[in-house]
Every structure is written in C-alpha cells, then in structure tokens.
A and B are shown apart, each in its own frame.
Chain A
C-alpha cells in the first residue's frame, strides 16, 4: 500500500480493509476450533473450568466468559493454559 493510500485512509478515519478484518477473524476462530478438535480435549476440561470459576468467584467477581481453560500440544509436552481476564477496577477481597 502506498503512502498516499495510507494518508487517504487516515483522512477517512481508520477504515481497516475488510480483507484484513476477514483474515484476523478467521485466524482467531480457527485457532479456537482447531484446539477443540486436535487436542481432543479431555472430558475433565469443562468440569475443571467450572470448579476453577467457582474458586475464583469466591475472591473476584469474574464473568463466565472471562476465563478460558485450554490444553495445547507443544512438541512433546501438553500445556494446560489457564487464562483469566480480571475486571478492570473492581478487585474485591485481598
């Protein structure tokens, strides 16, 4: 993309090209769907997620979809990844 195109985009105000948006969306959703089918995620993952959620909820108020439990393969190792997005201000407890 040329400098002028960039400038025009800037003047129009952002406007990411839709093809770029499409690619990003696909990369995210497919990474998620592949993880689901490749690791053939063990049965205990949903239960584990529920229990972790319950424990965390005792201390912090977190929305359900703010916690993700994923099992990924990195070479010889399986990595259990726990991802909790904390809410911005309201940190309770402590």
Chain B
C-alpha cells in the first residue's frame, strides 16, 4: 500500500526541505520506490537541496494543467536509482495548485511508487494545505524554540480537523514528531527546550532528533542530501529516522551531552 507522507511545520526555516530530501533519500536507499514533491510554488528549493536544479524542465503545475505527462516532469535522482523529484513551479501562480489536480497526481504516482514525500511550504496557506490534505502520515518538523513549537501545534490541529482523512472520518493521519537543530549542550545548560519538554507539549510520538550541525550547510552547498554525508551525526540521525519509520526499533541518539574528557580530546573522537 503506497504511502503519502507530508513533511510540515508551519514555521519556516526549521528544516522541512532538508528533512524531505534526506528522508526521501533514506526511504529510497532502503529499497522503497520513492518520489519527493516540492509544494512550494514560487519559492522552489528542493531541486537545489537535491542537486538537480539544472535538470528541471517541467514542474508540478505543468502536470496539473495537463501540459505534460507526469513522467516528463519527474527527475531521476543522481545518487539513488529508485528516487525521483517532482519540482515546484518557480513562476506560476500558487492557486494553480488545486486540490483536485494534486489528488490526480498522487493517485497516478501511487500506481508506481511506494512512498510519496510531500515537502510542504511554510505557513498554513494554500500550498501548505495542498501538501498535507492527502497525507497518510506526517513528519512534523520542530525546532526546540517557542515559535516553532507553537506553529507545530497549530499544524497538528489542522491535520486533525481539515485533512482528507479527518474530513472523511477515516483513520487519522499518523503524526510523527521530528525535532531538528537540537543542541544537547544548550539543553543541559537549561537554555533550550528538551526533547521531553517538546514531546510533553505536543503529545505526539517522537520519530527522531537531528542534532544542530555545520554539515547541513555543507550538504546544501553541494546539493547532496545530508543523509549521504560520511561520518556525520546528521546523516546517522536521518538514517535512524527512516529505520524507525520502517518499523525498526532504534534507540534515540544525539540527545544527551557528554563532556569530552581530556584523553578523548587528545587522542580520539572527531
């Protein structure tokens, strides 16, 4: 049964596109035929993060308007065989992203893909709504910061009340909390909300914690999803997230701060 997964947050800049790119890549690496769709019409960026910006010819609006076949707009990922990107339009009016059209595209994608990852734009307007409407599952990307937590709560409210599953009285959208840009050192110092705090407030199951890391910028600089980076906490953390999503039992990592001992500082570690 193919799954539609929305990556959403309400607030901008928390790591939705970074997460969409790495999560979709991780799903593909585990053998799922996966497509990742950019819903941010007018401000597309998933193509840059996936490193396929120069191969964009057609986009989701071309497909919705029936100007090209879906196959023509799909871009094959350069790293993974069973991963495709469907870019957003950079120029068209975002109202062109109508719910019926999106529904038709998703139905067609479900015929040949196992996982459909929808990268939502920030906000709660039309684009964000179309990205979440058809979702079976949701990754709610949240930073340990008050405005991000509040916006995530708002998004959870919308998922529970206005998604297709809610409107039609089906089983509710499965929600997963993904905490990103986490800094265990600052949490230990009492300067940052802890994962436990955020989970207690939002009351949804935790699927992972992505540590704050310089390597995310390096990944986006080079157009390589962060999950591909060697010896990076972020890559490991995203692999854990994918494993948990696939049903594996994986203990949480990168959530506690350990003071680095003198010996380790001198001889070992990173």
Contact = CB atoms under 8 A, between A and B. Distances in A.
Interface of A: 1, 17-20, 22-23, 25-27, 29-30, 33-34, 37-38
A94 B52 CA distance: 77
Interface of B: 145-146, 149-150, 153-154, 157, 161, 187, 189-194, 197, 200-201
27 contacts: A1-B190, A17-B189, A17-B190, A18-B190, A19-B187, A19-B192, A19-B193, A19-B194, A19-B197, A20-B190, A22-B193, A23-B193, A23-B197, A23-B201, A25-B146, A26-B146, A26-B149, A26-B201, A29-B150, A30-B150, A33-B150, A33-B153, A33-B154, A34-B153, A34-B157, A37-B161, A38-B157
Contacts of B197: 19, 22-23
Contacts of A19: 187, 190-194, 197
Interface residues of A, dominant DSSP? helix
Contacts of B154: 33
A17 B187 CA distance: 10
**Taking each of B146, B187, B190, which has the highest tally of chain A beta carbons within 10 Å of its own beta carbon?**
B190
Which 9 residue pairs spanning A and B have beta carbons closest together? A17-B190, A23-B197, A19-B190, A22-B146, A30-B153, A37-B157, A26-B201, A19-B193, A22-B193
Given A26-B150, A30-B153, 18 more contacts: A17-B190, A17-B191, A18-B190, A19-B191, A19-B193, A20-B190, A22-B146, A22-B197, A23-B193, A23-B197, A25-B146, A26-B146, A26-B149, A26-B201, A33-B150, A33-B153, A34-B157, A37-B161
Contacts of B189: 17
A39 to B, nearest CB: 12
Contacts, number: 40
Nearest to B201: A26
Contacts of B161: 37
Contacts of B201: 23, 26-27, 30
Contacts of A25: 146
A15 to B, nearest CB: 9
Nearest to A5: B190
Contacts of B190: 1, 17-20
A1 B188 CA distance: 9
A20 B154 CA distance: 21
B47 to A, nearest CB: 35
A79 B157 CA distance: 21
A17 B77 CA distance: 45
Contacts of B149: 26
A22 to B, nearest CB: 5
A40 B157 CA distance: 12
A2 B24 CA distance: 43
B184 to A, nearest CB: 12
A18 B189 CA distance: 10
A18 B144 CA distance: 12
Contacts of B194: 19
A38 B146 CA distance: 21
A29 B153 CA distance: 11
A37 B189 CA distance: 35
Contacts of A33: 150, 153-154
Nearest to A18: B191
